[in-house]
A and B are shown apart, each in its own frame.
Chain A
Amino acid sequence: MFDRRLIQNFDWILLLVLLLIAGVSIMNLYSATYAIRDVGGGRVFLKHIYWFLIGFGVFFLMTTFNYHALERLAYPAYFLSLALLALVFVTGKAASGSQRWLAVGSLSFQPSELAKLALLMVLAKFFSDRGGYQESRLRDLWQPFILIGIPCALILKEPDLGTAILLIFVSLSLILFVRVHWKSLLILALSAISLAPFIWFNLKEYQRMRVLAFLRPDMDPLGSGYHINQSKIAIGSGLFWGKGLLKGTQTRLHFLPEQHTDFAFSVLAEEWGFIGSGFLLLAYLFLILWGLNIAKNSKDKFGSMIAIGIVALIFWQVTINVGMVTGLLPVVGIPLPLFSYGGSSLVTTMAALGILMNISMRRFMFQ
């Protein structure tokens, strides 16, 4: 298993970027939880470190086997994730009005995170099995649509609109990458638009409020409009150089809600300014481009597909989260990967990056 070549081809750059982001993440979370340290902030910070340790463990674990094993594991993993998603409704832990977690002892994790990876695996398998890059037509895609549809429906029911949307975007990215015939694309787009009103009316009240608050933040000054407002104030008030570590008043004085989860980026922006937040964005950008590079260097379709999928996953999460905290998108509760506090998200991202590393390490191998 531990071929010398693997070690030679160890992707140090990927690891470096990962460590860099991890370091900033830990430092940032320290500040974010410092403000609420008297109500358990310290515990959260420690947990974040533990999750990182576990995450790194998973990261390295993911590099130990040949990633082609994932092809065999794809469907089993997929069905497992569906089962877990269904289980959430039966025994799941409810919090803040939605059932998203399964508790295992004192740890809780979100099956929807696992579902992300599992879905990517089956989709990658599907497209790599198909071979070639001809433009797909809608009729060719019925399988992927079902594969995507089931977990999405379950996730929507939780209700977790954000993750469902994320899944759709990521899957669509993958599908678009392997090319769709323009006619089919048009039909898809039109049906999406015509579905929009139906979707709108099926949204829950607070979800609608979030979209409305996005369009008119002053409409909901104490709800999600408040979040957006405070986040913009936090980010904007960082100016160019930021206010300094632990000196973010929005953070320290509790004006920024969810500062250790969804709005962790805002904390960074307030304390490290344009320099700091721009730097983090560049780090993510680099990670994404490097991932694309890995996809390019991969010698088989499955590897490239998975790599593209993982890159899409990271890209969309970063885009949606940063777009959300800067007020470009409505609040949808998508965490910033590696940066927001949250064990499931962190471990899943690390696993995904581990797979990326895996693919990268085996780029010179022939199967």
Chain B
Amino acid sequence: MKTSNFDPLSVEIFNRQLKKVTVVVLVVFGLLVLRLWFLQVLNGSTYRVKSENNRIRLEDIPPFRGLLFDYKGGVLVDNRPSYDLYVIPEEVQDRKKLLQTLKDLVNLDPAKVKPKLENLAQASPFRPVCLKKDITRNELAVIETHRFNLSGIMIKVRPQRHYIWGNLASHLLGYLGEIDESQLKSGKYPYNKAGDLIGKSGVELEWQENLTGRRGGEQAEVDAAGRKIRVISKKPPLPGANVYLTIHKELQALAEKALSDKRGAVVALDPNNGKVLALASSPSFNPNLFIQGIDRETWNRIISSKGFPLQNRALSGQYPPGSIFKIVVALAGLEEGLVDPEEEVYCNGVFTLGRGVYHCWKKHGHGMVDLHRALVESCDVYFYKLGIKLGVDKIARYAKRFGLSKPTGFDAGQEKGGFMPTSRWKLKKFGVPWQPGETVSVSIGQSFVLVTPIQMATFISALYNGGTLYKPQVTHYVEKAPGQKAQKFVPRPTGKWDLNPRNMALVKKALVGVVNEPHGTGWRARLKGITVAGKTGTAQVIALEREEDFENEADVPFSMRDHAWFIAVAPADRPRIAVAVVVEHGGHGGKAAAPIAREVVEAYLSKDRPSRPGEKT
């Protein structure tokens, strides 16, 4: 029998409790209603604004970066769409299944993606997580067809820089990288923001402001995952300006092929105005690798790769010039009146100065040689004697006049200036006076003398264009860009030799002989029907007593082999191309470098007359 509520005391207590409960309930609900009033009526407008802000997003539209073309208008660098695969963790019902499906469809390795996904999903389940960047068109098609099975997936498109020909002219063209903090702060990049890719080297860097364009924006209604529902208003971006370069794609490819298994550089200029026809450095790299944000492993591999592929040897490779320096000494000697062109000097393979004994590369000497022969056969002893007569400081003075020991002013890259020693320098640096014996080495381009390939190309150009040093430039034409004017190539002289034309003619004649006369060291650069002029150079890496210490060149350990130089101009009477080639540890200049120069000259001169940019041949 259950106790009923009928006893009055119980009923009274019950009712009392009930009243208390009723009061509590009313108070609590009153509070809740008050809270609603507070949110919806008192502060409603604030929240209304917030809800509006929530759904309207300002979306950034990155501009289309300007393209890079070669002389004939062939595209070298453009932009292509990159499709990136994202997932919104919150919207994924079965993560495991999704990853498995993606593995089957586009070969996405779940192991790689899972930890990152779990981490980010915990932190912010609404932010899209990138699963795979730059999926192929096939993968894109596959994903789109399986959309229904892939809840939470979205595809984002962005433009990606595309170096169409991979390694071709990689040093010259440069590469893109993320703008860093100091650059943003510097104020030099007012139209860029964090995360933007900007040019970090080469032409990409040089013309960054013109190439970059102006970003646009879009006001769009979006959902919490950032997916666009509709566009409210849009400001289109302004594309960057296209840049036309002076280089010839085929010539460049040829030069790079010639260097392909070697380390070194090739620079080809138009000697009359400084236009760069080709600029190759080996080993090279593929700028496309840097676009994705290169992973640490690959970066370390590239950086520490023996051979330093990122270094542009054409601009910053500093080598002893070896025998090509003899041209400087010859010209200096002529100008100073210390050389009688007819005078013959006896070379028996040995030259003594005080207690020093210096050898000519030809063991038993060249016999009686005048200036012409000395250049043609590259007699060391002739130049030892001439060098002593001049002294290092005079040589240095002429070298500097000819544009050596300072950068050429190339318009798209970091250059090194090379080096020319003087007696004052030596005293200052080593505290010891200059020894005449050292002049001996200088006169054949050894000792402390250092030059870069682009310097030598400019140098030989000046010799053959009447004595004007032109700034080497690779930019032919830059279109008008927002906030920038159009730019056109204009030859820029940076110095004049001011030499007696008769002296120059003498040397020029000798250089023709180097290639075309018997016993000329540059015979491997000879071409049928075209008069090539040039000079070989063999720069010693370490001093060997005599080259005969080794039976053949092949026995010399690679790192001990000399650097091989060849500089050339063709055709000698009306020059259209000047080339400088250096092959590290290539051995003899005549053997290793001259054939490359020949190939380049031949390829360029046998083409049709070069056309104007944009014109298709």
Contacts and interface: CB of A to CB of B under 8 A. Distances in A.
Interface of A: 39-40, 68, 71, 128, 131-133, 177-179, 222-223, 226, 230, 232-240, 249-250, 252-255, 257, 269-270, 273-274, 277-278, 281, 284-285, 288-289, 292, 295-296, 298-302, 304, 308, 315, 319, 322-323, 326-328, 367
B223 A232 contact: no
Contacts of B91: 39
Contacts of A367: 2
Contacts of A328: 31-32, 35
Given A39-B91, A367-B2, A236 B222 contact: no
Contacts of B25: 285, 288-289, 292, 315
B229 A253 contact: yes
B3 A233 contact: no
B40 interface: yes
Nearest to B91: A39
Contact of B44 (A222, A230, A236, A255): A236
Contacts, number: 156
A226 B124 CA distance: 9
B54 A296 contact: no
Given A292-B21, A326-B35, A273 B151 contact: no
Contact of B39 (A226, A232, A300): A232
Chain B interface size, under 10 / 10 to 19 / 20 to 34 / 35 or more: 35 or more
Given A235-B47, A237-B48, A269 B40 contact: yes
A327 B123 CA distance: 21
Contacts of A277: 36, 40
A177 B225 CA distance: 48
Nearest to A38: B151
Interface string B532-544: 0000000000000
B contacts with A: majority SS: helix
B10 interface: yes
B41 interface: yes
Interface of B: 2-6, 9-10, 13-15, 17-18, 21-22, 25-26, 28-29, 31-33, 35-37, 39-41, 43-48, 50-52, 54-55, 90-91, 93, 123-127, 151-152, 221-225, 229
B14 A304 contact: yes
Contacts of B46: 236
A281 B2 contact: no
A255 B48 contact: no
Contacts of A223: 123-124
Contact of A299 (B4, B37, B55, B127): B4
A236 B28 contact: no
Nearest to B6: A299
Contacts of B15: 296
A71 B1 CA distance: 12
Nearest to B46: A236
A250 B2 contact: no
Given A222-B125, A253-B54, A277-B36, 4 more contacts: A237-B48, A253-B223, A255-B223, A277-B40
Given A232-B39, A292-B21, A301-B2, A133 B54 contact: no
